[in-house]
Amino acid sequence: MNTLQYGWRNLWRNTRRTLITLAAVTFSTAILITSYALMDGLMEHAVSNATNLVVGEAQVHAPGYLVDRSIYKSLAQPDRILKKAREDNIGAAPRRYGYGLVAVGTKSAGALFWGVDPARERETFDLAKHLRRGKFLPQKPDRTMVLGQKLAKSLQAEVGSEVVVVVQAADGSLGNELFTVTGILKTAGDSIDRNAALIHSKDFTELFVSGERIHEIAFNSRGRVPLEELGKLVAQSAPGQEVKNWRQLLPSVSDMVNLFDAFIWVFGLIFVLAAGMGVMNTMLMATYERMREFGIIKALGATPYRIIRDVAVEALVLAGIGTILGSILALAGSYYLQEVGLDTTMFAGSYTVGGVAFDPVWRATLSIKGFVIPIVLMAFISLVASLYPATLAARLDPVRAIHRP
Partner 1 sequence: MMTLIKIFLKTLFLSFSVSVLLLNHSLLHAQEQPLTPKQILDKVDDLFRSQSSHGLATMTVATAHWKRSLSLEMWSAGKEKSLVRILAPKKEKGTATLRSGNDIWNYLPKVKRVIKLPSSMMAASWMGSHFTNDDLVKESRMADDYTFEITFIGEGAGEEIVEVTCYPKPEAAVVWGKVLVRARMKNYLPLFVKYFDEDLRLARTMTFSQVAELGGRLIPAMVTMVPEEKPEESTIIHYEKMDFDIGLENDFFSLRTLQR
Residues of this chain that bind partner 1 (CB under 8 A): 72, 101, 103, 106-110, 164, 166, 168, 170-174, 176-178
CB of 175 to partner 1, least distance (A): 9
Closer CB to partner 1, 108 or 350, in the complex: 108
Closer CB to partner 1, 172 or 349, in the complex: 172
Closer CB to partner 1, 139 or 176, in the complex: 176
Closer CB to partner 1, 37 or 155, in the complex: 155
CB of 209 to partner 1, least distance (A): 9
Closer CB to partner 1, 173 or 236, in the complex: 173
- The full DSSP string for 87-103 is HTT-EEEEEEEEEEEEE
CB of 359 to partner 1, least distance (A): 30
CB of 168 to partner 1, least distance (A): 5
CB of 74 to partner 1, least distance (A): 12
Q: Residue 193 and residue 153: Cα distance in Å, rounded? A: 10
CB of 190 to partner 1, least distance (A): 15
CB of 62 to partner 1, least distance (A): 14
Instruction: Return the closest-CA partner of residue 196 out of 207, 187, 209.
Output: 187
* Pair 335, 25: CB distance under 8 Å: no
CB of 228 to partner 1, least distance (A): 37
Which residues on adjacent β-strands are paired with residue 245?
Answer: 58
**Number of neighbours of residue 274 by Cβ within 10 angstroms:** 12
Closer CB to partner 1, 1 or 178, in the complex: 178
Q: Residue 128 and residue 339: Cα distance in Å, rounded? A: 25
Is residue 317 classed as helix, strand or coil in its secondary structure? helix
CB of 178 to partner 1, least distance (A): 5
Closer CB to partner 1, 107 or 400, in the complex: 107
Number of helices (H), then strands (E), in the chain: 15, 14
Q: Residue 234 and residue 252: Cα distance in Å, rounded? A: 23
Closer CB to partner 1, 180 or 303, in the complex: 180
Closer CB to partner 1, 178 or 266, in the complex: 178
